[in-house]
Structure 1
Amino acid sequence: MTERLNPQSFDVAAIIQAAQAVASENLLPRVIDRLLRISVANAGAQRAALLLCHDQKLLLDATIRIDPDVVEVDILRPVEECPDLPQTILNYVVRTRQVVVLGDAPSDACFGRDLAIARLKPRSILCLPLLYRGAVTGVLHLEHATVPDVFHPTRVKVLEWLAAQAAIAVENARLLGALEAASAEVRRANEKLELAVIERTRELADAQARLIALEKEATEVQMAGGFAHEMRNILTGAKTFLAKIQGVDEERRSLCAANNDMLKELYLLTRDHLPEGTRREAATLVRRINTNGEVMHAALSDIGELLDRALASTRVILRYARLGRERRGSRPVRLRPLVESILRELEGDFAQHGIVAEIQIDPESMLDGDEVHLDSMLRNLVLNARDALCENGEPTERKIRVALVEDEQSTTVYVSDTGIGIPPDVRARMFEPFFSTKPETGTGLGLPVVRKLASIYGGKIEVDSEPGRRTTIGIVLPKAEHRDPACAEPTREPPPSPSDLLRGSA
């Protein structure tokens, strides 16, 4: 069950500042030092240890104690040689990628018999994995020797968010260190090839920029997914409470309608016992209360519709956040029936707006992939084309064309429209997540979804647009023999030990 956190129970600005402080460091020792100090401060721990993966082996990199305040870095000791660390907990965290929180470690049924716990008897323990691209790249272990239940769920959640940012910062620092070392070695070994070294350095810098951009996007997606998940829980709770008011009896009448009926019945039961003047005043009050009840009923209905729209938006964001776990499909899919199905669903909408749809795809044409992926890509492009046509107030022909073009290396599906086109400023940002020219109705995730799904297949997106006249967007998918092997789904066997697990998921 997902734990709900009250946003007022902790300082969001402080959390963001802490994550930025870790991410701002470029040198690995400083990243480690910042991470340990911030973790201890946020968690209320007395001691912390950071273990990182070095060449597929987990080593103790650094420790910190607050009494006295001592940080030791570059220890690089194998985890098996650290008698003051609970091996069973570390192995469990690496194997399951789950957080372990113990409020009274010596009495814990699962881990209380660990040699380090039995000998040192720490009361509170928090151990959580550092995950980078789904793989365990390290473990952060925190303890308090004397106080039980130090690590409150709110603090644990903060540390999880911080660990996610720290994993990226550690990897970036390693990459940057490797880049600097490689550049220095190249300069020393190739003094007579200065131009080649400059070119190579430029290529490495470009690769680093692309990596940082990808990590930024991954962080945005992770944060968006977490936010959408929390918002979905809150909105679902609000819908549940609203349902208690909107359908309270067998006839599914709202509480307002039921109250109005009971008020009317009460008036009818008592009116013959009231003086003439009082009866008129009571009737007036009953009518006013009924009017207020109708207004409240309408307002509650509007609130229900708004909650439904908000929940729909969170579902879109959650689906986008989960795209990173999607894998390329390999089954043959007939493309024309898929396109026909999408257009049939939109027939009424197209007829209302005078849109003509045209398909230029051979009935026997096949694409290797996942039908759900192809449907999502084409549906998003067709809906975008529909919106562009509806925004075009000119009395021109409104047409959408879906066509398939093949050559020896690739298959391209084009979706064209005679709509308003794409202005240069919008074209520069159209694939950015959450960027939308329709903020009232769109989430800004349609085209990013298309691009991300295409990348899963080693493909790309081509855009050709003439503002005010037309737009053509092509999904270019390489044929099987030309696909990047990195796009293939990996096959792994379950690792038997922490070191093997790290090696298998690196």
Structure 2
Amino acid sequence: MDRNLLLVDDEEGIRTVLSLSLADAGYVVHTARTGEEALAVFDRVRPGVVLTDIKMPGMDGIELLERLKKRDPDVEVIMITGHGDIDLAIQSIQREAADFVTKPVNDAILEIALKRARERSHLRRQLREYTTNLERMVEEKSRALVRAERLAAAGQAAAGMAHAIKNIAGGLEGCIFLLEQGLKQDRRVYLEQGWEMLKANVEKIKDLSLALLDYSRPEELHFHPTDPAGPLEEIAALMRARAREQGVDLVLDKAPGMSQALLDPEAMHRCLLNLVVNALDACAERGERPEPCRVELRVEPDAGGGVRYVVRDNGPGMDADTVDMLFTVFFSTKGGRGTGLGLAASRKIVEQHGGVLEVESAPGRGTTFTARLPRPETLRGSGSTGM
């Protein structure tokens, strides 16, 4: 964050004293007497922080705050208030002021407010860089995916993996949303949770990218005893912020007392993530409906000792002809936004587990995907056990 700072106060004495104090602290201080003068100085200097009195003749501090945020949403504005101006100070925080200090201004308290503003600015800059890199990564993988779609069957495994990467990247937008809410509300816990979730899942994208199989080699699964609810719990945590942003109620339901199942948890994560992302997208496209958008995730025992995963949405549903085409490679209900490989890849993973992936849908009645995995002893010959 640059050291340029704009100080706005109609009292010359306050400007003089604070200017000297801030200069001693290492800031390059620019001053203005009125809100109008402050906007002119801001347009010329573009400081990272503005320190302004909340009560001034003409344009007051709150109006100045709003107009500064329109010019540059990233500028950090600290309000100077009197002891009787707490209501105004709260209003300024609601309008995205970074902080407020009361008169007479204490140097130590002011330094704390400035430090917090610097931290907010630094975190926002890091978040923007992280998002830019993520978008670039997704764009590169998407271009690679388009090329892969034109290849022969030997390239389909790699294309399916790339599609999973794009879906996970879509889930990461929910992490970014959580961080933005933390910045807006100044909630440290949101920032910490969102930031850790973001870093962990971007690492997962990188790992998946490096793990892309050779085009001519089919994917080999690694089965080991796993809590069957684990992959679905991870996906629910990953996608909950995105669902909230889209106005979708994401519900996870686990049958109690389930024993471990023999499966590849990473592969099932990719398989189920495809289904959940498709369900959220379907809810987003359903138009005006009286009942709220809802996506239900369920894991439960299946007949014969197997495991059943269910992903159900109340989106617009599909007609019989569309359902018949769903698992056809390169067929997509999303037009140019889809690759047509996600559901095919999900079905392949379920079949490699010895199971079946079923779909039920009708126009106006939503869609239900059910993945049925058999009991462990029926998996012999389906792939590597990794045990």
Task: Give the TM-score band, short-chain normalised.
Answer: 0.3 to 0.5
- Give the structure-1-normalised TM-score: 0.34
Answer with 1 or 2: which has the greater Rg.
1
What's the TM-score once normalised by structure 2's chain length? 0.44
